[in-house]
Each structure stands twice: as C-alpha cells, then as structure tokens.
Chains A and B, each alone.
Chain A
Amino acid sequence: MNDLVNQLWLVPALPLLAAGVLALTPRHRRGLAAGLAIGTLALSLVLSVAAWVSTLGATGPDGFRAVRNFPWLTWGDHTLHLGWVLDPLSAVMLVMVSFVGLVIFVYSTGYMAGDENFTRFFGFLSLFAGAMLAVVMANSLVLLFAAWELVGLASYLLIGFWFQKPAAAAAARKAFLTTRVGDLGLFAAMLWLYDATGTLVFFDGGRGCLEAPAVAALAGQTVMGGLTLSAALSLLVLLGAAGKSGQVPLHVWLPDAMEGPTPVSALIHAATMVAAGVFLVARLFPLFAAQPEGASGVPPALQAVAWLGAVTAVFAALIAVAQTDLKRILAYSTVSQLGYMFLGLGVGGVAVGMFHLLTHAFFKALLFLGAGAVIHGCHGEQDIRRLGGLGRLMPVTFATYAVGMMALAGVPLLFSGFWSKEAILHAAHTWPASPGPFYLGLFGALLTAFYMTRQVVFVFFGPYRGEKGAPTQPGKVPHESPPLLTVPLILLAAGAILLGFFGTPAWPGLQAYLEPARVGLTGPDLARLVSAEALKLMALSTAVVLAGLALGWWCYGRRPLTDPTAPDALELAQPGLFRLLRERLRVDELYEATVVRWHTGWAALGDRLDRWVWGGLVLLIQGLTVGLAWLGRALDEFGVNDGFDTACERLRRGGTRLAATATGRLPGYLRGAMAGAAALGLLLLWGGCR
C-alpha cells in the first residue's frame, strides 16, 4: 500500500496543473474551465479517499504514518529536504478539503454562470484547492509555509475577484496584509526552528523536528522570560495560525472578505482556508504540548491557545448578534466557531479540535451556500432587513439552511454540531488549568444559538420585506435556486447530520482514529455515553442551546417583522451596547487609529527623511560634483590653459629672441665664442684655481 504514498504528490499537483492550464485558456472556453477544475479535484478526491482507506487498518501507537522526503536545495554543506506525509490527520483533511471543494466547485458552476470571468474564477479555485491540499500533506515546514503563502495568494485573488468594486479590492488587500502579519510569526518560527533543530522536516525516521528527541531538546532550552524554546516557537506559530484563522487580534479581514463571491466565502472562509490555522496547530501539536522533563500542568502554549480560542468565540459571537448583513453574520459565526476549535485544541488536544473543524466545515459550507442561494434568488440582496418570508418561496433552501442552523447552534442528539461542541465543552470542563474557558464556551454557545435564530427569523419568517409589490413583477420575485445549487446543499446537509455520529462519546471513532494513543477504541460503548458526568454535561449544553433559541424567538419571532427600517429588538433594549456591537466594537477604528496612523506616521517620517536627508545628501553630492566640475573647468581654463598658453607664449617669445641671436653672421658667432672663452678663462684664473 505504501506505493500509494509515492503517488500522493498527485493530489495537490493535479489542481495546480489545472490552474496553470486555465490561466492560459481564453475566456470563452467555460466548459473546459469547469470540466478541468472539477475533473482534477474529483481525481484528487478519489486518491485522497484511497489514501485514507489505506491508513485505516494501521495499528501501532501513533497510527499510520508514511513519509516521502527528497532533498530539494543544497547550499554549502546544508541541504534542505522537502516531503509529504500520510497519517490520519492529513488523510482526514485531504478527504474533507477535496470533498467540500468538489461540492462547492459544482455549486459555483451554477452560481457563477452569469459571470463573464468564469474561466478565471475556476482557475483561481483550482489554484486554491491545489495549495490547500499541499498545505495539508506537507511534511516539511518549508513546503507547508510555501503552500500556506499560495493559499493566502489564492484568497487574495478570490476575495478581489470582482476587482472593479473598490470595496472588494480593498477587502482583498486587507485580507492579504492581515494574514501577512500573522505569517511573519510563522516565518520567524520556521527560521528559529531550523536554527534550533537543524532540519525543518517533521517526520524523518527519528530525525524530524517534531519527533521525540528534537522536541525534547527544544523543550529543554529556555528562552527569555522562563519560556521554554518550544513554547516560544509555539506562540510564534500560534500568531501565524491566528492570522490565517482570523482569531481576535487579526480577525478584521474575515468579515470584509465577504465581498468575494459566495462560493469563495463558503470554500475559503468557512471550510478550508480558515481551518488551515487550526490544522497548523494540530500538525505542530507535539511542539505545543512539549514539556521539560518533570514539568506538570498544562504547557503555557496550550493555555494560550485555549484562552485565545475562548475569548475569540465570545467576542465574535457578541458582534454577530448585531449584524444586519446576511453573510457578515455567518462570517462572525465562523470566527466564533474557529475560536471554539482553538479552545478544543487547547483543552482537548488534536482529536477534539479536529472533530469540531470537520463538523463545522460541513454545516458552515452549507449555511454559506444557502445564503448564496438566497442572495441568488433575491437578485443580490444581502441585507436581512429587506429579506423575509423566504421560507415559503424557497422551501429546499429553507430546509437545508434550517439543518445547517441547528447543527451550528448545537441542537442536541441529531446534529453533528452538538457532538463536537459537547466534546469541546467536556474537555474544557475537565481542563485542569482554569474553569474560565468552560464558562466562556457556554456563554458563546448561548450567543450562537441566539444570533442564528435571529438570522433565520429575519430571512425565512414574516413577510417579504423586499421590493414592495415585488410578488406582482415576475422578474423581481425571489425564486428557488436551480437543482445545480440545491443538490450540493442537500449533500452538505446530509454530511452535517451524519458526521456527528462518528464522534459521539459512545463511540469516539474519529478521536480514536486521530489519536489512537489517547483514546483506546474498543467498539461502541453506550456506557460512556450514559455515564453520569457525560450526561450532566449534555444536559447543561442542551439547556444553554434551548435558552438561546428561546431568547432569539422571543426577541424576533413573536411579532412578524414588517418594517425593514424598524430598529432591532435588542437595539430597543440596549441601544448603546447594540450600536457598539453593530460597529463591530470599533476594532477597525481602533486599528485605524493606532496601527494605521502609526504606520502612516512612520511613512511620513520616512518620506520626510528620504526627501530631506537623502535628497539633501544627493543634492549635496550633485552640487559638489557640479562644483568640482566647475572648479576643474575654471582651473583648466585659467590655471592650465592660461598658464600653459602664457608659458608657451613666453617660450615662443624667448625662442624668437634667441633665434635673433642666430643671425647666421659669422662675426657675431666669433665674438660670442671669444667672449665665452674669456669668461671661461676668467673663471679658471680667478675661479679659485690660483
């Protein structure tokens, strides 16, 4: 089976190849574009599933791991190895990314049908898919980082797809720059790691940097502030992950990224790209969990991850409550759920975090596609206050959207969201470091339930608040999306429901698969499901969810909303707080005020410096050279020329005078000779020879 690993590089290569070909195909070849993109991704999906199946039968403490490394670059006596790895974590992610990607590709053929840049769109999509698959299976931090950057590029291109819209262009730039800030941390970590361990390959038959000896060595060294080297590296990696996954300080770009087409939002800002950050932390989990010998307690890196996740969850949920744009609410929900994933990773480890990531991928993709269908149906209308009553007009969309909403909110038992969130809360509850994340998690769950019900009520219940008298005009009437859009919705809805059953406490299949060491798999065991402590937790979370739903229904469901301009219910209750939340807690303004101003200040300073100091210097030098040139010329003009000319003139005049003596007349010569002889005689006689 391990020959499959040799072919594994095809998985990312095919979409990238497709992207390359599509970049060259002319615009009108839409069929080729769609076919090529979907075909290559389908192939990757088949390969990924085959690879996943091959990893199932593995036994052994770490589960299946097959590694393929090759030397890529040698300079001096250093060589840099790249490679890819097939282990449970990467296999699961490969399948998830390719499956969700395929579904969204199919969906976008329908959604983007009307757009003239169809081929370019699919080219970018293939580029993104290839890059994401490469990130997932990379065995070397360099390859991972390269793919990571490619993903960032793809997200920039896709967000700014409609670059005619200035908002889209600005959003793309903002996304790129913010994730870039995060990437700096990752880059620094990479360099430091290389310096510390001498290799960037994760698993290299014992020499890899994530394997026990290297990690132990890293944990052994302490850096400033008592932090161990591994902890410091982890924090830097966390910075990169936070940037890419839109955690609190760097989350500002994600809501704005909604400017891109909805399939993009679904693919990138729900399922895959944002999950990359979480995957990165999962991949480098041994680094995060590294502990110097004998040290007990939760390692500081994991504590940071947990707290970061909890805070982001609550923060984003609060903002989502006050949003009026359909996709922005979902965006903030994604940020909140990513917080939950980090929380899961921090408290529960890889399995817990990854389980929620998988489930979230499915139902968030579903919600986004649903929103896309709604927007498509309402001809581009995104403000929920002008929507309403679509339940009747778009029954399939309403049904699938409702499933997605319930999975997200965490309605118990049937939906996967409940199980993955429950696992996180369970882990948070038993987290030894501090109970804080557990309570934040509960409050977040409450808020999630509340803003989802608010959104569903606004969109699907009550009268249609869109164009007045809309029903009479056929063109303007919101209509159900064609099957090309609804079938992917149905598929995703099925995934949202079924996936939950893999991770229930009774049969933690997924957890066992991801981390066989921690979770022994002995077959379905209802006992664990009904154990006292588990039941208590499940009851608590169910209560919280139901409370959220009720609160949401109470605020918005009781009276049908008819006036699009009517103030929000919450606004009536808490106008100040609500307005604050609506303005996204003025984080952007904060950044605007601090970072941007500071940056422009530095830029201005740089400009002034450049203009005056360097410019001045250049002018000075120029002046000097010109002056010197003038000096040289003057010197030459007056000094040398004149001097030379006068010297020549004098010489010539002397010459003529001398020539005058050469009269050719013999007597003159004779006299001269005799005078000379006399002088000589004089000299001899009285010159001191007496």
Chain B
Amino acid sequence: METAFTVLALGMLVAAAAAMSLRNLIHCALCLVGAFGGAAGLFLTLGAEFVAFAQVLVYVGAISILIVFALLLTSTRAVETAQPWVPPRGLGPTVAGLVTGLLLAAVGLSPGLPEKTAATSAVSVQELGRELLTRQAPALLAVGLLLTAALIGAVVVALREPPPTSGKEEPPA
C-alpha cells in the first residue's frame, strides 16, 4: 500500500509543481488535471472511494474543463509572451516556503496520534448518504442553494455585454 501511496503522491506533487511553473498555460491546465487525478488516487489509497470518484467527477470533469475554457477565452497574444511571474519573482515562493515550512514543522512537532490505522472497511455510501441527509442536512441544503446561486451568478456575470471598446456589435435581439 505504501508504494502506491508514495508513487501517487510523488506524481501528484510533480504534476502540481509543473502546473504552477510551466510557461504554457494549457500545459499548466493539463498538469493540473494530472494533479487532481493524483489526489483522487490518494483518496482511494486512503479508503475514501466516494470522495475519490467525486473528486474526479468534479475536479477533473468540471473544474479543469472550466479552467481550460477560461484560458482559451482569455488567451491573447500578450498572455503567451508576457513573463508569467509577478515581480519580485522570489517573494511568492519564499512566502509559500515559509508557510509550508511552518506546516511541516507543526506536523513534525505535534504529538503523534494513536496508531489506529486498522483496515476497517471504508465508509459505505449508505452511511455517507445517511450522514449527509441527517446530521449534515442543513449544510447540504445550504450547499445546494450555494451551487444554484453560483451557477446563475456565473452565467449572469459572464453574459456578453457589448464591450465598451468595440461597440460595433448590437446586443442580441
């Protein structure tokens, strides 16, 4: 089990690093997909199947496509050529490094949890469903509402208005 975990983890991290550092945006997006896939794999190794499949379904299926679409819609000549980092280049990574170091230190220093990794069966979907619909019912309703609102909001925001600059096109009849 360890080998699977480490392989997947390494793959994911490499993909994520690539996603964040590649110059070509679409490559970044695709590496991102790889990272999400890796994460889904990790979820599987940690025994949360439903979460893994949800992860794949949502992240790989929807969000990455969304990101790719957005990249395509907004890709202009300038995007490819411009230097992809915000000056000062070193600041971002250093701050991130600081935070990661902090997290790692926290992990390292905090007292270990009792070793209870018994291979009990993963939570069945039934239990998850019951959990969602009983204890987490209000949260579920809220997320439902949120998703609807987000959907409508995104559509409205992204609706095409006549861009002030071109001005040639008439709005849809």
Binding site for B on A (CB under 8 A): 665, 667-668, 671, 674-675, 677-678, 681-682, 685, 690
Q: B residues within 8 A CB of A675?
A: 95, 98
How far, in Å, is B103 (CB) from chain A's closest CB?
A: 8
Verify A690–B109 contact, CB threshold 8 A: yes
Verify B91–A671 contact, CB threshold 8 A: yes
Is B86 interfacial (CB-CB < 8 Å)? yes
Minimal Cβ-Cβ distance residue in B for A668 = B86
Verify A674–B106 contact, CB threshold 8 A: no
Q: B residues within 8 A CB of A674?
A: 95-96, 99
Interface CB pairs A-B, < 8 A, 25: A665-B86, A667-B86, A667-B92, A671-B91, A671-B92, A671-B95, A674-B95, A674-B96, A674-B99, A675-B95, A675-B98, A677-B99, A678-B98, A678-B99, A678-B102, A681-B99, A681-B102, A681-B103, A681-B106, A682-B102, A685-B102, A685-B105, A685-B106, A685-B109, A690-B109
Q: 5 additional contacts, CB 8 Å, given A674-B99, A675-B98?
A: A667-B86, A674-B95, A681-B106, A685-B109, A690-B109
Q: In the complex the two chains form, what is the Cα distance from A668 to B95 in whole Å?
A: 11
> Per-residue CB proximity of B71-98 to A under 8 Å, as 1/0?
0000000000000001000011001101
Q: A residues within 8 A CB of B99?
A: 674, 677-678, 681
How far, in Å, is A140 (CB) from chain B's closest CB?
A: 108
How far, in Å, is A457 (CB) from chain B's closest CB?
A: 138
Judged by DSSP, the binding face of B is helix
Minimal Cβ-Cβ distance residue in A for B103 = A681
Q: B residues within 8 A CB of A681?
A: 99, 102-103, 106
Minimal Cβ-Cβ distance residue in B for A672 = B95
Q: In the complex the two chains form, what is the Cα distance from A468 to B106 in whole Å?
A: 146
Q: B residues within 8 A CB of A667?
A: 86, 92
Point out which of B92, B95, B109 has the most chain A C-beta atoms below 10 A from its C-beta.
Answer: B95
Which B12-59 residues have a C-beta within 8 angstroms of A?
A: none
Q: In the complex the two chains form, what is the Cα distance from A447 to B86 in whole Å?
A: 136
Q: In the complex the two chains form, what is the Cα distance from A668 to B86 in whole Å?
A: 9
Minimal Cβ-Cβ distance residue in A for B96 = A674
How far, in Å, is B146 (CB) from chain A's closest CB?
A: 23
- How many A-B pairs fall under 8 Å by CB? 27
Q: B residues within 8 A CB of A671?
A: 91-92, 95
Judged by DSSP, the binding face of A is helix
Q: A residues within 8 A CB of B96?
A: 674
Q: A residues within 8 A CB of B103?
A: 681
Number of chain B interface residues as a range:
10 to 19
Q: In the complex the two chains form, what is the Cα distance from A681 to B99 in whole Å?
A: 8
The 8 A-B residue pairs with the shortest CB-CB distance, nearest first, are A667-B86, A678-B98, A678-B99, A681-B102, A674-B95, A675-B95, A671-B95, A678-B102
Minimal Cβ-Cβ distance residue in B for A667 = B86
Q: B residues within 8 A CB of A690?
A: 109
Q: A residues within 8 A CB of B95?
A: 671, 674-675, 678
> Per-residue CB proximity of B97-119 to A under 8 Å, as 1/0?
01100110110010000000000
Q: In the complex the two chains form, what is the Cα distance from A543 to B106 in whole Å?
A: 149
Q: In the complex the two chains form, what is the Cα distance from A17 to B109 in whole Å?
A: 121
How far, in Å, is B16 (CB) from chain A's closest CB?
A: 17
Q: In the complex the two chains form, what is the Cα distance from A258 to B47 in whole Å?
A: 145
How far, in Å, is A682 (CB) from chain B's closest CB?
A: 6
How far, in Å, is B33 (CB) from chain A's closest CB?
A: 24
Q: In the complex the two chains form, what is the Cα distance from A690 to B96 in whole Å?
A: 23
Q: In the complex the two chains form, what is the Cα distance from A674 to B91 in whole Å?
A: 11
Q: In the complex the two chains form, what is the Cα distance from A690 to B109 in whole Å?
A: 9
Q: B residues within 8 A CB of A668?
A: 86
Q: B residues within 8 A CB of A682?
A: 102
Q: A residues within 8 A CB of B91?
A: 671
How far, in Å, is B141 (CB) from chain A's closest CB?
A: 31
Q: In the complex the two chains form, what is the Cα distance from A685 to B109 in whole Å?
A: 9
How far, in Å, is A685 (CB) from chain B's closest CB?
A: 6
How far, in Å, is A633 (CB) from chain B's closest CB?
A: 51
How far, in Å, is B67 (CB) from chain A's closest CB?
A: 18
Minimal Cβ-Cβ distance residue in B for A666 = B86
Minimal Cβ-Cβ distance residue in B for A677 = B99
Which B107-142 residues have a C-beta within 8 angstroms of A?
A: 109
Q: In the complex the two chains form, what is the Cα distance from A682 to B103 in whole Å?
A: 9
Q: A residues within 8 A CB of B106?
A: 681, 685
Q: In the complex the two chains form, what is the Cα distance from A677 to B98 in whole Å?
A: 10
Minimal Cβ-Cβ distance residue in A for B92 = A671
Q: In the complex the two chains form, what is the Cα distance from A592 to B103 in whole Å?
A: 114
Minimal Cβ-Cβ distance residue in A for B105 = A685
Q: B residues within 8 A CB of A678?
A: 95, 98-99, 102
Q: In the complex the two chains form, what is the Cα distance from A675 to B102 in whole Å?
A: 11
How far, in Å, is B43 (CB) from chain A's closest CB?
A: 26
How far, in Å, is B105 (CB) from chain A's closest CB?
A: 7
Q: In the complex the two chains form, what is the Cα distance from A511 to B109 in whole Å?
A: 138
Q: In the complex the two chains form, what is the Cα distance from A671 to B99 in whole Å?
A: 11
Q: In the complex the two chains form, what is the Cα distance from A681 to B102 in whole Å?
A: 7
Q: A residues within 8 A CB of B86?
A: 665, 667-668
How far, in Å, is B54 (CB) from chain A's closest CB?
A: 28
Minimal Cβ-Cβ distance residue in B for A681 = B102
Q: In the complex the two chains form, what is the Cα distance from A675 to B95 in whole Å?
A: 6
Q: In the complex the two chains form, what is the Cα distance from A671 to B92 in whole Å?
A: 6
How far, in Å, is A498 (CB) from chain B's closest CB?
A: 138
Point out which of B91, B102, B109 has the most chain A C-beta atoms below 10 A from its C-beta.
Answer: B102
Q: In the complex the two chains form, what is the Cα distance from A668 to B98 in whole Å?
A: 16
How far, in Å, is B14 (CB) from chain A's closest CB?
A: 23
Q: In the complex the two chains form, what is the Cα distance from A671 to B103 in whole Å?
A: 17
Q: In the complex the two chains form, what is the Cα distance from A503 to B8 in whole Å?
A: 161
Q: In the complex the two chains form, what is the Cα distance from A668 to B105 in whole Å?
A: 26
How far, in Å, is A465 (CB) from chain B's closest CB?
A: 134
How far, in Å, is A578 (CB) from chain B's closest CB?
A: 128
Q: In the complex the two chains form, what is the Cα distance from A667 to B105 in whole Å?
A: 26
How far, in Å, is A322 (CB) from chain B's closest CB?
A: 126
How far, in Å, is B107 (CB) from chain A's closest CB?
A: 11
Q: In the complex the two chains form, what is the Cα distance from A681 to B96 in whole Å?
A: 13
Q: In the complex the two chains form, what is the Cα distance from A665 to B91 in whole Å?
A: 14
Q: In the complex the two chains form, what is the Cα distance from A668 to B102 in whole Å?
A: 21
How far, in Å, is B74 (CB) from chain A's closest CB?
A: 15
How far, in Å, is A683 (CB) from chain B's closest CB?
A: 10
Q: B residues within 8 A CB of A665?
A: 86
How far, in Å, is A631 (CB) from chain B's closest CB?
A: 53
Q: In the complex the two chains form, what is the Cα distance from A202 to B42 in whole Å?
A: 132
Q: A residues within 8 A CB of B102?
A: 678, 681-682, 685
Q: In the complex the two chains form, what is the Cα distance from A681 to B105 in whole Å?
A: 11
Minimal Cβ-Cβ distance residue in A for B97 = A678
Minimal Cβ-Cβ distance residue in B for A690 = B109
Q: In the complex the two chains form, what is the Cα distance from A449 to B18 in whole Å?
A: 155
Q: In the complex the two chains form, what is the Cα distance from A671 to B86 in whole Å?
A: 11
How far, in Å, is A678 (CB) from chain B's closest CB?
A: 5
How far, in Å, is B98 (CB) from chain A's closest CB?
A: 5
Minimal Cβ-Cβ distance residue in B for A675 = B95
Q: A residues within 8 A CB of B98?
A: 675, 678
